[in-house]
C-alpha cells in the first residue's frame, strides 16, 4: 500500500509537471526571455551570476566563468538537453516533488479521498489550498519576478519564502480543518504574520525591465501555477481514491 | 474474533498511510529543494525558467 500511495502521487506529479512546460511556453517563458534582454543593462545571465557567486568561494568564480563561457557559445543548457529539455526535466522533478509533498500533507492530515466525483473535488480543493500556500501567499510580499529585476539578498528571500509557505500551510490547515475558533484565529495570524514581518526588499527599486512585462509576468505566473496545482490536486485525488485500502504494503 | 481482525487491519492501514506520508514528505522536499532552492550553479541554470515560473526566489 505504501508503494502504491507513493506511485499514485508520483504519477499525478509527472502528468501535471509535463503539462506545465507547454503552459509556461505560452505564458511565462516568452516574458522571461524578453526580460533577459534588459537584464543587467544587456549582459547575459551568466555574467550576472558570476559576480554573485564569486562572493561565496573560489569555486564560485570558476562556476560563474563556466556559465559565462556557456552563454558565449550560445548554449543555455547545463545538462546538454537545451533550454527546452532542461525546463521539461525541471518541471517533471518539480511536479513529482510538489505531488509527493501534497500527498504527504493529505496522508498525514488524514484527508480521505472517496471514489468517484467526491475524491476528485477534494483533490481540487487540496490543490487550490496548496496554490494559496505556495504561490499566492508568498506573492503578497514577494511577487514572482522576471530576470533583470532589482533583488534583495537571495538567501534572505529564500528563507522568508520557505517560512511563509510553511506558516501559510499550517495557518490554512488550522483555519479550514479545525473547528475551534481559537485555532482559526491562530491560523489567520500565522498566514498574516510573515507579511507584517515583511519580505526582504532591495533598497533601489529602479529597473530597466518595462513595468508592463513585470505586471504581465506576475499575473502569468499565478495563472499557470493555478492551472498546475488544480491539475495536480485533481489527479492526486483521483489516483489516491483508487489505491485499495485493504492491500498490504 | 472478526472484530479483532478488523481493528488490526484498520490500525495497519492508518500506520501505512502515515509511513507513506512521511516518506513522501522527505522525498518530495528533497526534489523541490533541488529544483527550486539549491544554491548550485548547474541546478540553477537548468531549472532557471522553472524557478522563475513558479515564483521561487531566484538570482
ipTM rounded to 2 decimals: 0.83
Burial A98-121 (b: 16+ CB within 10 A, else e): bbbbbbbbbbeeebebeeeeebbe
Q: For chain B, which residues make up each domain, given as ranges?
A: 25-59
Judged against a pLDDT cut of 80, whether residue A75 lies above it is answered with no
DSSP at A41: G
Of all residues in chain A, the one with the smallest CA distance to B58 is: A154
pLDDT confidence band for A45 (50 / 70 / 90): very low
Among A117-131, A141-155, A225-239, which stretch is predicted with the lowest mean pLDDT?
A141-155
Tens of pLDDT, residues A3-36:
999 999 999 999 999 999 999 999 999 999 999 9
- How far, in Å, CA of A68 to CA of A149, rounded? 19
Q: Is residue B17 within 8 angstroms of chain A, CB to CB? A: yes
* Closest residue in chain B to residue A17, using alpha carbons only: B50
Instruction: Return the number of CB contacts < 8 Å for A and B.
Output: 178
Mean pLDDT on A100-118: 93
> According to the model, what pLDDT value does residue B8 have?
56
Buried b or exposed e, range A38-75, using 16+ CB within 10 angstroms: bbbeebbbbbbbbeebbeeeeebeebbbbbbebbeeee
Q: Does residue A51 have a pLDDT over 50?
A: no
Residues A156 and A14: their CA atoms lie apart, in Å, by: 31
- Tell me how close the Cα of B8 comes to any Cα of chain A, in angstroms: 11
Structure confidence by residue, pLDDT tens digits, A152-176: 999 999 999 999 999 999 999 999 9
pLDDT digits (tens, 9 = 90+) for B11-50: 566 688 899 999 999 999 999 999 999 988 889 989 999 9
pLDDT confidence of residue B30: 96
At A60, the pLDDT band (50, 70, 90 cuts) reads: very low
State whether B45 and A67 contact (CB < 8 Å). Answer: yes
| pLDDT tens for each residue of A219-232 | 999 999 999 999 99
The distance of B9 to chain A (nearest Cα, Å) reads 7
Amino acid at each position: 500500500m505504501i508503494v502504491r500511495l507513493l506511485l499514485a502521487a508520483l504519477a499525478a506529479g509527472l502528468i501535471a509537471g509535463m503539462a506545465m512546460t507547454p503552459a509556461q511556453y505560452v505564458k511565462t517563458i516568452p516574458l522571461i526571455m524578453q526580460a533577459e534582454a534588459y537584464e543587467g543593462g544587456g549582459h547575459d545571465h551568466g555574467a550576472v551570476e558570476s559576480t554573485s557567486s564569486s562572493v561565496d568561494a573560489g569555486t564560485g568564480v570558476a562556476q560563474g566563468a563556466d556559465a559565462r563561457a556557456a552563454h558565449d557559445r550560445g548554449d543555455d543548457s547545463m545538462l546538454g538537453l537545451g533550454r527546452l529539455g532542461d525546463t521539461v526535466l525541471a518541471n517533471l522533478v518539480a511536479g513529482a516533488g510538489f505531488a509527493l509533498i501534497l500527498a504527504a500533507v493529505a496522508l498525514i492530515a488524514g484527508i480521505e479521498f472517496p471514489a468517484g466525483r467526491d475524491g476528485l473535488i477534494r483533490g481540487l480543493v487540496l490543490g487550490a489550498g496548496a496554490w494559496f500556500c505556495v504561490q499566492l501567499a508568498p506573492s503578497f510580499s514577494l511577487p514572482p519576478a522576471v530576470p533583470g529585476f532589482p533583488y534583495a539578498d537571495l538567501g534572505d528571500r529564500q528563507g522568508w519564502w520557505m517560512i511563509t509557505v510553511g506558516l501559510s500551510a499550517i495557518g490554512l490547515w488550522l483555519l479550514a480543518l479545525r473547528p475551534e475558533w481559537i485555532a482559526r484565529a491562530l491560523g489567520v495570524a500565522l498566514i498574516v504574520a510573515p507579511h507584517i514581518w515583511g519580505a526582504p526588499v532591495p533598497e533601489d527599486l529602479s529597473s530597466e525591465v518595462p513595468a508592463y512585462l513585470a505586471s504581465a509576468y506576475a499575473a502569468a505566473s499565478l495563472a499557470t501555477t493555478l492551472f498546475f496545482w488544480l491539475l495536480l490536486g485533481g489527479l492526486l485525488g483521483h489516483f489516491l481514491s483508487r489505491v485499495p485500502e485493504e492491500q498490504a504494503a | 474474533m472478526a472484530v479483532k481482525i478488523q481493528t488490526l487491519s484498520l490500525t495497519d492501514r492508518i500506520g501505512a498511510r502515515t509511513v507513506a506520508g512521511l516518506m513522501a514528505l522527505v522525498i518530495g522536499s528533497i526534489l523541490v529543494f533541488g529544483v527550486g532552492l539549491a544554491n548550485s550553479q548547474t541546478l540553477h541554470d537548468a531549472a532557471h525558467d522553472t524557478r522563475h515560473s513558479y515564483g521561487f526566489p531566484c538570482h
